[in-house]
Structure 1
C-alpha cells in the first residue's frame, strides 16, 4: 500500500554550524548554534525565519543529554511570531530519520506550513561516551553500571559480539566500514577526520569495549544541523530544488524494546539493529526495494551497527553482512550501495544523526562532495537505539 503522504512534502532548506571537537564549541551556547543552523536553513530555502510555524524534533527535543530545546525560547530568540505545531519523537538518535515523517504529519494535517527540525550537541558538561555511568541509579542502571556498561559503546559491544557468535562476523568487516567512511571524509570540508586510514592502523587502535576499538566508535563532536520541510506545492516556488519525502516510518518491535540498555532480546533480535520492521514498512510504503536505493545514509554511532542495519533493511540476507561489506559493496566508488558518502558519524561529525539528512539532501540536489551519479533515491536511518528507531526514503524531484 502506497504511503498516503508520498511525495506531498519536501525538504527545502538545510543549515549547519561548523563542527567542533567535543567541548570546544564553548563559550558558544547551545541556542547560539541552534539559531545559526536554523537561519542558514532559512537562507538556503529562501524564506524568512518568521515563516517558520512548526517544530518537529526528535530525541524528546533533547540536545544531547544535558540540554533541551525550548520552542518558546527559540521563538523569542529568532523572532518567530507564532507556532502552530511543536512535537518530538521520543527516545534518542533513533528518531533522527523519523522526524521528517513527524513534519509531514503536521504539514498534511494543515497544522503548520514550514516546519523545522534541529539537532544540536554540546558536550562540555557531560560527554555522551559515559552518560550511563553518570546517570542516577534505576532498575535498569543497577544492572548496567556494576557490569561496567557505562556508555553506549560498551552496550553496543555486547550486540556486536553476539552477531559474531551467531554468524561468524569478523572485525575485518568492521574495519572495512570504518576505512571506507574515512575515505569518504578525506575531501569533505569540515569533517573532523581527514587523514587516510589503513587496515594496520585500524587494528592497532586501542580496544575500548571488545570487540569494538576506538575507531569503531563515532566521533564526540559539538555543533548543530537544521532542515526545513514544507508542502511540495509550496516548495516549487522556493529557492532550491525540493527533495521529496517519499516514505517515512518509526517505531519497532517489543523484542527490541530498550535495545542495548536492556539486554533481554531473544535471538535473532539480539544480534540485530532492531530496524527490520522499519525497513519492511518503508519498502511497503514506497513500492521500492533495497536495490532501488542509490545511496544509504546509515546511522553509524558504532561500525558494527552499520553492518546489522544493512541486513535488517535487506541489502543482504541475515548473517551475510560480513561478506557483503567485505565485497566492497558499500564503497562510494564501485560499490552497489554507497554508504555514508560524507564520512558519517565515524569520520565527519556526530550530531545525533542530523548530518545524514543533510548529506541525503545534498546527494539528491546533485551537489554532494562525493556525488553518486544520477542519484534519485536515498535511504536515511536513525538509531539503533531504544525505541523508536526510524528510517525514511528521500527522492529527487
Structure 2
C-alpha cells in the first residue's frame, strides 16, 4: 500500500550542511547567524548562491527568506515556504523541500533555522507575554493553574508515564540523559564537549518541575543550522555523498494541542508521533528493524522514551530498558541535551553525517537514519539513506 510521501522516495537528497558555532551569547543578529549557516551549507555542497531557487524555514524564524537570500547573494526564488509548530517543524522543512524538488517547482532548496535562544528570547521562560491569538487562548486554559512553561506541560505527561509503568525518574529518564551527554563529550561542536555525566549526576541535578530535573531538559542555544537539498541525479555530481530522502512525513493527532493535550486520551503516549510513524513507515516501506541510527528530538528525556515506543522500536513502557541496553544508537551528536538546541535542525545534520560516514561518533555501516522533530506538538520525521 502506498502512502502519503511515497512519491518522494529517492527523489531528493541533502547535499550540504552548515552551521555556526553553538553558544550562549552569539554577539550577532539572527540574520547574520542564518546567513553564515546558509553560506556554510552551500560551500559544503560545492554550490553557489546562484544555484538556489527555493528556501524553507520555520514560522517562528525571524529571518525572512528574501532577506536571507539578499544577505547570501541568492537571486530569484521560485519557491518559499514555512512550517508551523516550533520544533515540530524541523523535518517538515525537509519534506517541503523534497516536495518542491520532486514536483519540479524548485531545483535547489535551502532549509534554515537561526535564533538567539539563550541571549535573546528564551522559550523556556514561559508564554505569559505572548500576543493574543487562538494559540494563546488555548494555552490560557492552563496558565491560571501555573502551567506557564514547556517543562511544566511535559511534566504532566512524564508523571503519568512513570505512574503507568511503575518507574522512577532515575531509572526511566536518567539513561536518556547519560547517552546524550556521552556522545556530546566526544563531539567538539557540542556545548558539553568533554563533560559526560553519570546516572548519579542526573539524579543529583536540581528539580525544574517534578519529575523533570535540570538534566532532563534541553539547552538554550544561540546559533543556526542550514541544509541544502537537490535532486538525487544532480546530487551524484556534487562534492559530498548524497543523503537521500527515503521518505518524510508530518502528523497531528485528534484533538491536538501544543504540549498541553491533557484530555485527549492516554497521557503517557504521543499520538502525533504515532500518526507520523504510520505515515513514514508506509511511505518508505521500512520499519524500525531497518533503522541503523535514531536521531530523536530530545527537548525533554521522557518524550524520547515515548517516541521509541510510538515508532515501534519497543513495547509500551519498555523504552528505558531499550535505551539502557543500547539496542539502537541514539543521538550520536549529543542531541539537544548535549550538543545544542537548534529546534532539531542540528539533528538532521547529524543524520546526514551518519549517512556520509563522517560523524565523530560514527556508527559502522549506517545506511538508514531516522530523524524526528519536536513532539507534544504537530510533528514530522524523515528517513535519510545512502544512495543505492
TM range (shorter): over 0.9
Q: What is the Cα deviation at residue 136 of structure 1?
A: 4.3
Instruction: Determine the structure 2 residue equivalent to 1:7.
Output: 10
**SS class of match (1:155):** helix
1:56-205 mapped onto 2 (5 Å cutoff): 56-58=56-58, 60=59, 62-63=60-61, 68-123=62-117, 124-136=119-131, 138-171=136-169, 172-194=171-193, 195-205=195-205
> Aligned partners of 1:234 and 1:150: how far apart in 2?
47
Instruction: Determine the structure 2 residue equivalent to 1:333.
Output: none
Could you tell me whether the CA contact under 8 Å between 1:294 and 1:338 is conserved in 2?
yes
Between stretches 172-181 and 258-267, larger displacement belongs to 258-267
**SS class of match (1:275):** helix
Between stretches 84-93 and 10-19, larger displacement belongs to 84-93
Cα 1:231–1:223 change in 2 (3 A) is same
Q: What is the Cα deviation at residue 295 of structure 1?
A: 0.2
Instruction: Determine the structure 2 residue equivalent to 1:253.
Output: 253
Aligned residues between the structures:
378
Could you tell me whether the CA contact under 8 Å between 2:272 and 2:377 is conserved in 1?
no
**SS class of match (1:261):** coil
Instruction: Determine the structure 1 residue equivalent to 2:343.
Output: 352
Instruction: Determine the structure 2 residue equivalent to 1:332.
Output: none
> Aligned partners of 2:269 and 2:162: how far apart in 1?
8
Structure 1 residues 240-290: Cα deviation after superposition (integer angstroms, max 9, x where no partner): 1111000100022214x01423422212x5533630111111111111110
Q: What is the Cα deviation at residue 100 of structure 1?
A: 1.2
Instruction: Determine the structure 2 residue equivalent to 1:361.
Output: 352
**SS class of match (1:363):** helix
> Aligned partners of 1:126 and 1:384: how far apart in 2?
21
Could you tell me whether the CA contact under 8 Å between 1:273 and 1:308 is conserved in 2?
no
Could you tell me whether the CA contact under 8 Å between 2:251 and 2:272 is conserved in 1?
no
Between stretches 180-189 and 194-203, larger displacement belongs to 194-203
**SS class of match (1:284):** helix
Q: What is the Cα deviation at residue 12 of structure 1?
A: 0.3
Give yes or no for the alignment of 1:390 onto 2:380: yes
> Aligned partners of 2:281 and 2:248: how far apart in 1?
10
Could you tell me whether the CA contact under 8 Å between 1:206 and 1:214 is conserved in 2?
yes
> Aligned partners of 1:95 and 1:107: how far apart in 2?
18
Structure 1 residues 149-170: Cα deviation after superposition (integer angstroms, max 9, x where no partner): 2211111111111111222233
Unaligned runs of 5+ in 1: 330-335
Could you tell me whether the CA contact under 8 Å between 2:294 and 2:330 is conserved in 1?
yes
TM-score (norm 2): 0.94
Instruction: Determine the structure 2 residue equivalent to 1:25.
Output: 26
Structure 1 residues 111-163: Cα deviation after superposition (integer angstroms, max 9, x where no partner): 11100000112033321111313324643232222222221111111111111
Structure 1 residues 21-65: Cα deviation after superposition (integer angstroms, max 9, x where no partner): 2xx112x0111110010000000000101211101223x2x22xx
**SS class of match (1:98):** helix
RMSD of aligned alpha carbons: 1.5
Instruction: Determine the structure 1 residue equivalent to 2:207.
Output: 207
TM-score (norm 1): 0.92
> Aligned partners of 2:21 and 2:284: how far apart in 1?
34
**SS class of match (2:141):** helix
> Aligned partners of 2:287 and 2:373: how far apart in 1?
19
> Aligned partners of 1:183 and 1:270: how far apart in 2?
27
Q: Say which of 278, 281, 296 aligns to 2:279.
A: 281
1:267-306 mapped onto 2 (5 Å cutoff): 267=266, 270-272=268-270, 274-306=272-304
> Aligned partners of 2:63 and 2:150: how far apart in 1?
22
Could you tell me whether the CA contact under 8 Å between 1:216 and 1:303 is conserved in 2?
yes
**SS class of match (2:104):** coil
> Aligned partners of 1:96 and 1:385: how far apart in 2?
14
> Aligned partners of 1:99 and 1:378: how far apart in 2?
17
Could you tell me whether the CA contact under 8 Å between 1:117 and 1:227 is conserved in 2?
yes
